[in-house]
């Protein structure tokens, strides 16, 4: 990506203003949104988000068990990213076997809610997507 596709074409911006804009979101935020979505939407973040929505507070090994399939490395890494983005809080209890609790912040919860739309879409259009795939593969 040499430079930003969101600002490239003046006609495109004109069109955006002329038409009933399909997304009324600001164009310049677009890059950051893409970035954010890319970061937030990977496989593990979603699952961890979901698990932490159910059980509001979990420690490291509990998460590792619930997520089931994640490596320690990925769990640590994902949790750090989520912490950095303000999605989870990490509280260390200085006890004898170390204990660290993770829980969602309001920000994290709201993200989960935002993704609910996609979730519902997937639920609604599941069969259509699967049909499209099998039709495509059968050619």
**Residue of 72, 84, 93, 99 that binds its own copies (CB under 8 A):** 84
Backbone angles phi, psi at 21, to 5 degrees: -50, 125
User: Which residues inside 37-96 make contact with DNA, applying CB under 7 A?
Assistant: 42-43, 59-62, 69-74, 76, 79-80, 90, 96
Determine, following the binding rule CB under 7 A, whether residue 13 of this chain makes contact with DNA: no
Q: With CB under 7 A, what is the number of residues at the site for DNA?
A: 23
Q: Please name which of 66, 70, 63 lies closest in space to residue 42, comparing C-alpha atoms.
A: 70
Task: Report the side by side order of strands in the sheet with 99-104.
Answer: 57-59, 99-104, 88-93
Residue 28 binds which entry of its own copies, DNA, none, CB below 5-8 Å type-dependent: its own copies
Determine, following the binding rule CB under 8 A, whether residue 129 of this chain makes contact with its own copies: yes
Q: Given the DSSP bridges, would you call strands 57-59 and 88-93 parallel, antiparallel or unpaired?
A: unpaired
């Amino acid at each position: 990506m040499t430079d930003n596709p969101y600002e490239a074409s003046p006609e495109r911006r004109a069109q955006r203003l002329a038409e009933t804009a399909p997304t009324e979101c600001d164009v310049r935020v677009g890059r950051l949104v893409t970035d954010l979505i890319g970061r937030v939407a990977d496989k593990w973040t979603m699952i961890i988000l979901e698990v932490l929505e159910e059980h509001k507070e979990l420690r490291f090994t509990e998460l590792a068990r619930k997520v089931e399939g994640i490596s320690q490395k990925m769990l640590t890494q994902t949790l750090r990213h989520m912490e950095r983005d303000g999605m989870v809080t990490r509280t260390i209890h200085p006890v004898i076997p170390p204990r660290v609790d993770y829980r969602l912040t309001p920000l994290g919860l709201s993200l989960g809610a935002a993704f609910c739309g996609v979730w519902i879409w997937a639920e609604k259009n599941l069969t259509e997507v699967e049909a499209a795939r099998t039709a495509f593969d059968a050619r």
